[in-house]
Amino acid sequence: MHAQIYREMERVENHHWWFVGRRAIVRNTLARTAPSRGAVGLRILDAGCGTGGNLRMLSEFGQVTGLEYEPIAADLARRRGKWEIVEGALPNDVPFRSERFDLIVMTDVLEHIDDDVGALKSIRALLAPGGRILLTVPAFQFLWSNHDLHHHHKRRYNKASLRSTIANAGLEVVTLSYFNFWLFPLVAAARLLAPRSSKAAPESLLRIPPAPVNGALAALFGGERFLLNRTSLPFGVSLIAVLQEPGR
């Protein structure tokens, strides 16, 4: 992605409604589905950690290491403090040799990688026995927009295509659902009506709305975690999945 997008991301991701809502949903999903390691805590890899916006939240579940391809993003993540950030890339430049992880998290990473099946296979090789993977990806190719262009996405997914990718990587689904459900009509309308141009300013996509609007959107989006406790949502702007080795 453009360097300026990483700088903007680092500036807003603690407060922007989309990041706040996604963290709430990811945290809640992990509380329900992450493997248990008792008082020791989990060994966690944030694969494609970007500028590190999820590191603090993930550290609630154990010891976190970040893996990041872009040097500028890795440097911004290191500035957050105590977490180790290792540079590398999926699927063919993974620096870990003997380390294994109980939990691997990939939030909006897979869509950036040409070989998404290979990326999941390389992540699978890093799982400790009984380990799990949580990933999120953007949903529905018809929602392709300037956001996807500026963030160098290769594709968007639906449930069927993501299930196929997961199966081809030799993994099985524990849970799979769409999310960003309530705001889907507004997002779909905005993206379908907007002109597509790589020349539009990418930083405009990361502006924080006025505080009351930002707070309301964060509460509405993040509140979907209570629905996800009960059911799989039928559509949404994104997908969330928890994976494991077959037969676990």
Confidence of residue 158 (pLDDT cuts 50, 70, 90): very high
Domain that holds residue 79: 3-244
**Is pLDDT at 203 greater than 60 in this prediction?**
no
pLDDT at 3: 79
What are the tens digits of pLDDT across the range 217-239? 999 999 999 999 999 999 999 99
pLDDT at 200: 53
pLDDT at 28: 98
Q: What percent of the chain has pLDDT over 90?
A: 83
**Is pLDDT at 131 greater than 70 in this prediction?**
yes
pLDDT at 247: 83
What are the tens digits of pLDDT across the range 5-32? 889 889 999 999 999 999 999 999 999 9
pLDDT at 238: 98
CB 47 within 8 A of CB 104: yes
Residue range 103-126: mean pLDDT, rounded: 98
Is there a cis peptide before residue 91, judged by omega within 30 degrees of 0? yes
Element (H or E) spanning 194, and its range?
Answer: none
- H-assigned helices in the chain: 3-12, 17-33, 55-58, 71-78, 116-124, 146-150, 159-168, 184-193, 211-222, 224-228
pLDDT at 195: 75
pLDDT at 198: 53
Q: Hey, what's the torsion of the CAs at 172, 175, 176, 177, to 10 degrees?
A: 180
102/233 Cα distance (integer angstroms): 27
CATH number at residue 210: 3.40.50.150
Confidence of residue 43 (pLDDT cuts 50, 70, 90): very high
pLDDT at 225: 98
CB atoms within 10 A of CB 130: 12
Backbone angles phi, psi at 233, to 5 degrees: -75, 145
CB atoms within 10 A of CB 214: 18
**Is pLDDT at 157 greater than 50 in this prediction?**
yes
**SS3 (DSSP) at 44:** strand
Confidence of residue 194 (pLDDT cuts 50, 70, 90): confident
Residue range 108-119: mean pLDDT, rounded: 98
pLDDT at 39: 63
For CA atoms 193, 199, 204, 206, the dihedral sign is: positive
Tokens 């390389």 belong to 122
CB 231 within 8 A of CB 170: no
Eight-state DSSP code of residue 157: B
Task: Provide the number of structural domains found in the chain.
Answer: 1
Which of 30-39, 215-224, 239-248 comes out lowest in average pLDDT?
A: 30-39
Arithmetic mean of pLDDT over the chain: 93
Tell me the CA end-to-end span of the chain in Å, nearest whole number: 36
pLDDT at 206: 73
Nearest to 121 by CA among 102, 99, 94: 94
Give the gyration radius of the chain's Cα atoms: 17
Confidence of residue 197 (pLDDT cuts 50, 70, 90): low
Element (H or E) spanning 210, and its range?
Answer: none
